[in-house]
């Protein structure tokens, strides 16, 4: 093996900088995860006063820490709804945009423009409109719509990336072999695109799960989890807040592992076990 | 069983927007023929194939298979099956399910369709790979799966879009023989699109040479190689020297030409009687040339009819022959393929001045046809 050349000094500077960045990124989170296991008599800061799961239990006592169970349920249900809508519409739109049709450019820019709209104002506007037309704002109606303005363009952009590697000849081959349009979609297009669809679903789910500004003024009477956590930062002065942080991180983490894991399994089955 | 799968294209034209891809093409492919559509990229050969397949519809004209117009019919109803350039094997399905796909979409139950697919895999010697996915196969194996997947539809016509271009040189030679055998075994019509001259000549009964959306010549392999119709076909197929000159004399059905260098050649009259003063073209096969070294290195022209003089600029040993490239006085290239025994008896070296001659019988008259296609850029194969 060829000998490595001596590394230049810039390598050490950049490596040090990167280390600092990683510490900044994960250090505070790590502190929160550790403090969430604070003993029953411990406070909001180090040192740990024993170790316990006490504060995780405290989460479910509504009076003390706010409506954790309710907001968590709402958030997960909303994220699932957003995920389903995002996948469905992004796939349909992505397939449609492969062809140029009348107004396709205008529609594309309109869809993508909502990515740069300030979320809080969008939320304000949607809340206002709902009030004007006399429909009460609610997490499963106005908040769902507000979040979709954010996740749909994201999903569409991911679909563009996914479809750019999808050859039209698969569809032609299916048609050549006598498949109807529906059969081509069901047996060929969707299964081949499936790993990409998981990516869209993951984005839809996580973007919704931690969305704050677009939900703030559209959520109606029951808070989603991020709003609830924000409220709790001002009222709750116990490590239960940290326990909440740990629980929500675990949920996000599970979602990511499930998605990436299933993509990896699919690629492994398709990519040839003997090669690579 | 009477062979079926005869194809007839009648005045087919195809436009994409303002671009004319196929310009009023008519050709007949008899049943059970191995036909190659040959031409440089962009000549319209793939478009023609896709119109036979039903993946494009002609702007005007008719496509007939076994005498029936198939316009507007889906591929399966036409009795055609297409093998795509990169095979388009479904990456998420095993080889067996790829091959069985046609049966699946036609509602054949799992057990019988798997049985049939296994049988088809056996016919292409791929049954051992039934449970693999396409990414686990080599290019040659993928091609066989693609072939099996197409043939399971019982097509009358198999359409192959550049079937060998994804393979390396060694496999290409092997698989082209394989395709030819398959075609004989199944007894159906094959239409094979390629831009490689020698590939077409090696496998095809009928070679259709195309350029700019038109057919220049549709003939047997020997026909296009030995008797090209136009200057374009002669240059594109290769193996020929193409010369042109003004008619200076007409005598008993033959014309005497003189080119700008002062060389004179005879050419048979061909279909139309030559007139003094007009320009005529001819070709001579590279292997019908005799070459002799000249003592006078400054000679640039030859007095004898049917000969040219030039300097050797490259010799390439090809095993049974030596390819000698000669640069004529005006920079044009002339190639003589000399058998290795003759060449090495008195070898010419680069820089030697030589005379190249040929007999009047070796001359073949050509129709002139201009092409944007730059023949000097492709490597001629002989």
pLDDT of amino acid B332? 84
pTM for the predicted model, two decimal places: 0.80
- The upper half-sphere exposure of residue B362, i.e. CA atoms within 13 Å in the direction of its Cβ, equals 17
Cβ <8 Å between A167 and B86:
yes
**Within this chain, do residues B201 and B327 fall inside the same structural domain, yes or no?**
no
Q: What is the pLDDT of residues B232-265, one digit of tens each?
A: 999 898 889 998 888 888 887 788 888 887 888 8
SS3 A257: helix
Residue B1 has pLDDT above 60, yes or no: no
Task: Please report, rounded to a whole number, the percentage of residues in chain B having pLDDT higher than 70.
Answer: 95
* pLDDT band at B375; cut points 50, 70, 90: very low
Residue B277 pLDDT more than 70? Answer: yes
Residues B250 and B219 reside in one and the same domain? no
- Helices B95-105 & B110-123, crossing angle to 10 degrees? 130
Say yes or no: B18 and B88 in one domain.
Answer: yes
Residue B185 vs residues A83, B123, B178, B314: alpha-carbon distances, Å: 53, 10, 10, 44
Contacts of B82 in chain A (CB under 8 A): 172-173, 176
Q: Do B273 and B340 fall into the same domain?
A: yes
Residues B166 and B258 in one domain: no
Average pLDDT over residues B266-295: 86
The answer to whether B49 and B210 have CB atoms below 8 angstroms apart is no
pLDDT value of residue B316:
92
Instruction: Answer yes or no: are the C-beta atoms of B105 and A187 closer than 8 Å.
Output: yes
Q: How far is A210 from chain B (nearest CA, A)?
A: 34
**Mean pLDDT across B156-173:** 89
CA distances from A223 to A67, A119, A136, A243, B4 (A): 8, 17, 14, 18, 72
In the block, residue with structure tokens 């973007």: A207
Q: Give B93 to chain A, closest Cα distance, Å.
A: 8
Domain boundary among B201, B226, B251: B226
SS3 category, A166: coil
Which residue in B46, B51, B56, B90 has the most chain A C-beta atoms within 10 A of its own C-beta, making it the best mutation to test that interface?
B90
pLDDT score at A275 = 41
Give the pLDDT score at A251.
85
pLDDT score of B152: 92
Domain boundary residue, one of B226, B255, B285: B226
- Which candidate from A178, A270, A271 shows the least CB-CB separation from B105? A178
Q: Nearest Cα to B230, choosing from B242, B247, B248?
A: B242
CB contact under 8 A, A180 and B105: yes
Does a structural domain hold residue B381? no
**A169 interfacial to chain B (CB closer than 8 Å):** yes
Could you tell me if B217 and B246 lie in one domain?
no
Average pLDDT over every residue of B260-272: 81
Q: Could you report the predicted ipTM of this complex, rounded to two decimals?
A: 0.80
Q: Is the pLDDT of residue B382 over 50?
A: no
What is the structure's pLDDT at A2?
53
Rg (CA), chain B: 25
Q: Which of B170, B191, B226 is the last residue of a domain?
A: B226
Phi, psi (rounded to 5 degrees) for B377: -90, -15
pLDDT on residue B209: 94
- Looking at residue B120, what is its pLDDT? 92
Provide the residue range defining the domain that includes B245.
239-371
Q: What is the pLDDT of residue B50?
A: 93
Closest chain B C-alpha to A99 CA, distance in angstroms: 15
Residues B39 and B128 in one domain: yes
Q: Is residue B378 part of a domain?
A: no
Q: Quick one: B39 and B159 in the same domain?
A: yes
Residues B162 and B24 in one domain: yes
Task: At A194, give phi and psi (nearest 5°).
Answer: -50, -45
Do B249 and B305 lie in a common domain? yes
A-interface mutation test, from B82, B88, B154, most A Cβ less than 10 A away: B88
The gap from C-alpha B135 to its chain's centroid, in whole angstroms, comes to 31
pLDDT in tens, B65-124: 998 999 989 888 899 999 998 899 999 999 999 999 999 999 999 999 999 999 999 988
Domain count within chain B:
2
pLDDT in tens, chain A (276 residues): 456 678 889 999 999 999 999 999 989 888 888 888 888 777 777 777 777 887 888 777 755 556 777 888 899 999 999 999 999 999 999 999 988 888 888 988 888 888 888 888 888 998 899 889 988 888 888 888 889 988 999 999 999 999 988 888 999 999 999 999 999 999 999 999 998 999 999 999 989 988 888 888 888 888 888 888 888 878 777 788 888 888 888 888 888 898 889 888 888 877 755 443
Q: Do A173 and B90 touch (CB under 8 A)?
A: yes
Mutation for B interface: A176, A179, A194, most B CBs within 10 A: A176
Q: Which CATH number among 2.40.50.140, 3.80.30.20, 3.20.20.70, 1.10.3720.10 corresponds to the domain A69-270?
A: 1.10.3720.10
In this structure, are B154 and B68 located in the same domain? yes
pLDDT (0 to 100) of residue B371:
64
The 3-state secondary structure of chain B reads CCCCCCEEEEEEEEEECCEEEEEEEEEEECCCCEEEEECCCCCCHHHHHHHHHCCCCCCEEEEEECCEECCCCCHHHHCEEEECCCCCCCCCCCHHHHHHHHHHHCCCCHHHHHHHHHHHHHHCCCHHHCCCCHHHCCHHHHHHHHHHHHHCCCCCEEEEECCCCCCCHHHHHHHHHHHHHHHHHHCCEEEEEECCHHHHHHHCCEEEEEECCEEEEEECHHHHHHCCCEHHHHHHHCCEEEEEEEEEEEECCEEEEECCCCCEEEEECCCCCCCCCCEEEEEEEHHHCEEEECCCCCCCCCCCCCEEEEEEEEEEECCCEEEEEEEECCCCEEEEEEEHHHHHHCCCCCCCEEEEECCHHHEEEEECCCCCCCHHHCCCCC
Determine, for residues A177 and B55 on separate chains, whether the beta-carbon distance falls below 8 Å: no
Q: Residue B41 sits in a domain of what CATH number?
A: 3.40.50.300
> Same domain for B45 and B174?
yes
Q: Would the pLDDT of B194 be above 90?
A: yes
**Interchain CB contact of A165 with B (< 8 Å):** no
Nearest C-alpha of chain B: how many angstroms from A255?
24
pLDDT attached to residue A66? 67
* Cα end-to-end span (Å), chain B: 40
């Amino acid at each position: 093996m060829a000998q490595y050349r001596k590394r230049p000094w810039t390598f050490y500077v950049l490596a040090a900088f990167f280390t600092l960045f990683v510490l900044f990124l994960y250090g505070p989170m790590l502190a929160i995860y550790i403090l969430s296991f604070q003993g029953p008599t411990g406070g909001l800061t180090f040192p740990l006063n024993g170790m316990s799961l006490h504060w995780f239990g405290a989460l479910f006592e509504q009076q003390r820490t706010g409506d954790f169970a309710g907001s968590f349920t709402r958030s997960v249900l909303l994220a699932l709804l957003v995920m389903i809508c995002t996948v469905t519409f992004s796939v349909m739109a992505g397939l449609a945009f492969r062809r140029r049709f009348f107004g396709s450019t205008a529609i594309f820019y309109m869809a993508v423009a909502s990515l740069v709209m300030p979320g809080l104002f969008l939320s304000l506007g949607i809340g206002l409109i709902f009030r004007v037309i006399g429909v009460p704002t609610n997490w499963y109606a106005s908040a769902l719509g507000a979040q979709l303005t954010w996740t749909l363009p994201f999903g569409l952009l991911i679909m563009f990336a996914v479809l750019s590697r999808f050859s039209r000849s698969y569809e032609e081959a299916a048609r050549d072999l006598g498949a109807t349009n529906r059969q081509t979609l069901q047996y060929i297009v969707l299964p081949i695109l499936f790993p990409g669809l998981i990516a869209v679903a993951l984005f839809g789910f996580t973007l919704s799960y931690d969305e704050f500004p677009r939900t703030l003024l559209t959520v109606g009477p029951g808070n989603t989890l991020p709003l609830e956590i924000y409220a709790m930062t001002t009222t709750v002065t116990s490590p239960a807040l940290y326990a909440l942080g740990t629980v929500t991180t675990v949920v996000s983490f599970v979602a990511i592992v499930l998605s990436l894991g299933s993509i990896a399994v699919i690629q492994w089955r398709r990519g040839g076990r003997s090669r690579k | 069983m009477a062979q079926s799968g005869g194809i007839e294209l009648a005045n087919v034209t195809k436009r994409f927007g303002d671009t004319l891809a196929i310009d009023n093409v008519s050709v007949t492919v008899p049943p059970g023929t191995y036909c190659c559509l040959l031409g440089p990229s962009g000549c319209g050969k793939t478009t023609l194939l896709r119109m036979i397949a039903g993946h494009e519809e002609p702007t005007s004209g008719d496509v007939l298979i076994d005498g029936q117009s198939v316009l507007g019919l889906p591929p399966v109803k036409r009795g055609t099956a297409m093998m795509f350039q990169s095979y388009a094997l479904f990456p998420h399905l095993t080889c067996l399910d790829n091959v069985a796909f046609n049966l699946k979409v036609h509602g054949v139950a799992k057990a019988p369709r798997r049985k049939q697919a296994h049988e088809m895999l056996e016919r292409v010697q791929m049954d051992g790979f039934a449970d693999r996915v396409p990414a686990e196969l080599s290019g040659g194996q993928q091609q066989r799966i693609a072939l099996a997947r197409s043939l399971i539809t019982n097509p009358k016509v198999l359409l192959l879009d550049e079937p060998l271009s994804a393979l390396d040189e060694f496999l290409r030679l092997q698989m082209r023989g394989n395709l030819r055998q398959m075609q004989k075994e199944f007894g159906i019509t094959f239409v094979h699109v390629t831009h490689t001259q020698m590939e077409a000549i090696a496998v095809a009964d009928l070679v259709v040479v195309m350029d700019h959306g038109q057919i220049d010549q549709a003939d047997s392999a020997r026909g296009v190689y030995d008797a090209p119709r136009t200057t374009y076909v002669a240059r594109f197929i290769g193996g020929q020297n193409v010369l042109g000159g003004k008619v200076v004399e007409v005598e008993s059905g033959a014309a005497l030409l003189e080119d700008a260098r002062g060389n004179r050649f005879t050419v048979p009259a061909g279909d139309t009687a030559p007139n003094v003063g007009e320009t005529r073209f001819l070709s001579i096969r590279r292997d019908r040339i005799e070459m002799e070294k000249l003592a006078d290195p400054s000679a640039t022209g030859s007095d004898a009819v049917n000969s040219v003089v030039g300097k050797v600029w490259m010799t390439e040993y090809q095993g049974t022959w030596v390819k000698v490239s000669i640069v004529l006085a005006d920079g044009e290239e002339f190639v003589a393929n000399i058998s290795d025994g003759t060449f090495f008896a008195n070898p010419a070296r680069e820089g030697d001045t030589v005379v190249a001659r040929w007999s009047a019988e070796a001359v073949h008259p050509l129709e002139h046809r201009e092409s944007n296609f730059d023949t000097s850029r492709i490597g001629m194969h002989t």
